[in-house]
């Protein structure tokens, strides 16, 4: 029997190249090898968007279309909505007994996020909600409710996986061996730098290229990207390794990037021409993705059906699994 892959995304915005190279590219391979459940984590998205339900709802469809447009095959992948699987919420409650508040407060991913979200959680995290602090518990429920054994994620998610494994071990030691410890799989590129040279591409950092960006937006963004600051004149030799334009050539213009590197070092390449070449390569790279997306935008009923069918399959898996879990916990009453 094939193992289950489980991964999730928060529907809070469109996919950018950081998602694509950091995690999604891996999904394309895994969909051929495993039983793949892809969760649109709308409940998790609400933990820091509780006051903006319209945004989450809209992005459920946006992100599903983005994922379909990169080539995920709905015949191989079950796309499902977290909110429609109550077993996940149930499991979250059960697991919450197995986790200390102190352990959650120490989770590096949670700590980073609290610091990034001062507007909602306060300068020192003093307004942190119970729900947000506990989302690693809910994420452990996502994974284990669907019997996920393989979890493709970006490296920012590793502390959450570690916490999930701890919960699994504790559960099994108390109630009996039933849950499987999930393993992460990382992409070759685990983190994509932003156009501004920041270590991470992110929506909140304003340094991202989105799969849905149009030609004008991409041109503007790439023309403003950070290059070697010591290169003043067109034929100054420069260091491509500190240039974001070269960095992106390596991602989307692989065949020519050696040449870009060489010419840049020799002073045989102007930055404007170099950026123009990257813009073209980027547009070529995004072209098939955009075409697929256009199809789904025009066939939104098909997108809904994909979510409906995937959710039905996920529900079946979770119901079956939950029966056994409740037995172990001795809450399988037959009244």
* Interacting residues toward ligand SF4 by CB under 6 A: 227-228, 231, 238, 240, 243, 245-246, 260, 264, 269, 271, 274-275
Whichever of 131 and 267 has its CB closer to ligand SF4, that residue is: 267
Is 143 among the residues that bind ligand TRP (CB under 6 A)?
A: yes
Work out whether 39 is an interface residue with ligand TRP (CB under 6 A): yes
Query: Measured between alpha carbons, how far is 177 from 246 in angstroms, rounded to an integer?
Result: 50
Is there a contact between 153 and 161 (Cβ–Cβ < 8 Å)? Answer: yes
Query: Minimal distance in Å, beta carbon 249 to ligand TRP?
Result: 27
259 versus 313: smaller Cβ distance to ligand SF4: 259
Closest distance between ligand SF4 and the C-beta of residue 219, in Å?
Answer: 14
The listed partner (ligand TRP, ligand SF4, none) that binds 37, CB under 5 to 8 Å by sort, is: none
Least distance in Å: CB of 235 to ligand TRP? 44
- Is residue 292 within 8 A of residue 65, CB to CB? The reply is no
Distance, C-alpha 93 to centroid of its chain: 24
H helix intervals, 146-239 = 158-175, 215-223
Helix-helix angle 254-266:244-252, to 10 degrees: 150
**What's the closest the beta carbon of residue 258 comes to ligand SF4, in angstroms?**
12
In whole angstroms, give the CA distance from residue 94 to residue 89.
Answer: 9
Q: How far apart are CA 246 and CA 250, in angstroms?
A: 6
**b/e 280-300 (16+ beta carbons within 10 angstroms → b):** ebbbebbeebeebbeebeeee
Please say whether the dihedral angle defined by the alpha carbons of residues 65, 68, 71 and 72, taken in this order, is positive or negative.
positive
Q: How far apart are the first and last CA of the chain?
A: 34
- Which of 193/269 has CB closer to ligand SF4? 269
The one among 72, 145, 150, 151 contacting ligand TRP by CB under 6 A: 151
The CB density around residue 26, as the number of other CB atoms within 10 Å, is: 21
d(Cα 160, Cα 182) in Å, to the nearest integer? 11
Token couple for 168: 């699994």
The residue (of 136 and 194) whose beta carbon lies closer to ligand SF4 is 194
Among 42, 66, 142, 277, binds ligand TRP (CB under 6 A): 142
Q: Is 187 in the site for ligand TRP (CB under 6 A)?
A: no
Q: Which of 41, 63, 278, 281 binds ligand TRP (CB under 6 A)?
A: 41
Measured from the CB atom, is 195 or 238 closer to ligand SF4?
238
Residue 20 is given by DSSP the state I
- Contact with ligand TRP (CB under 6 A): which of 139, 163, 227, 253? 139
Residue 271 site contact among ligand SF4, ligand TRP, none (CB < 5 to 8 Å, cut-off depends on kind): ligand SF4
**157 part of the interface to ligand TRP, by CB under 6 A:** yes
- Which residues are at the interface with ligand TRP (CB under 6 A)? 6-10, 39, 41, 44, 139, 142-143, 151, 153, 157
């Amino acid at each position: 029997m094939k193992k289950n892959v489980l991964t999730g995304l928060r529907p809070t915005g469109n996919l950018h190249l950081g998602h694509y190279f950091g995690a999604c590219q891996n999904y394309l391979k895994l969909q051929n090898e495993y039983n793949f459940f892809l969760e649109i984590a709308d409940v998790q998205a609400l933990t820091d968007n509780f006051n903006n339900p319209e945004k989450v709802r809209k992005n459920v469809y946006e992100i599903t279309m983005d994922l379909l447009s990169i080539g995920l095959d709905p015949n191989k992948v079950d796309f499902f909505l977290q909110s429609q699987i109550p077993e996940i919420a149930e499991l979250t409650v059960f697991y919450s007994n197995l986790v200390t508040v102190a352990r959650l407060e120490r989770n590096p991913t949670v700590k980073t996020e609290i610091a990034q979200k001062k507007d909602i959680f306060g300068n020192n995290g003093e307004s942190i909600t119970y729900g947000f602090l506990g989302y690693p518990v809910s994420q452990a429920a996502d994974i284990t409710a669907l019997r996920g054994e393989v979890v493709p994620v970006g490296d920012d998610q590793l502390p959450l996986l570690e916490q999930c494994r701890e919960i699994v071990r504790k559960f099994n030691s108390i109630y009996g061996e039933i849950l499987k410890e999930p393993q992460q799989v990382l992409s070759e590129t685990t983190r994509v730098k932003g156009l501004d040279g920041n270590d991470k591409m992110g929506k909140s950092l304003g340094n991202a290229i989105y799969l849905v960006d149009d030609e004008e937006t991409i041109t503007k963004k790439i023309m403003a990207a950070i290059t070697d600051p010591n290169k003043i004149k067109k034929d100054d030799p420069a260091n491509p390794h500190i240039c974001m334009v070269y960095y992106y050539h390596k991602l989307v213009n692989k065949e020519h990037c050696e040449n870009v590197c060489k010419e840049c070092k020799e002073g045989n390449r102007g930055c404007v021409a170099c950026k123009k070449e990257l813009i073209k390569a980027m547009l070529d790279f995004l072209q098939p993705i955009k075409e697929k997306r256009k199809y789904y935008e025009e066939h939104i009923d098909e997108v809904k059906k994909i979510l409906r069918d995937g959710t039905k399959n996920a529900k079946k898996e979770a119901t079956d699994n939950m029966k056994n879990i409740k037995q172990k916990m001795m809450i399988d009453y037959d009244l």
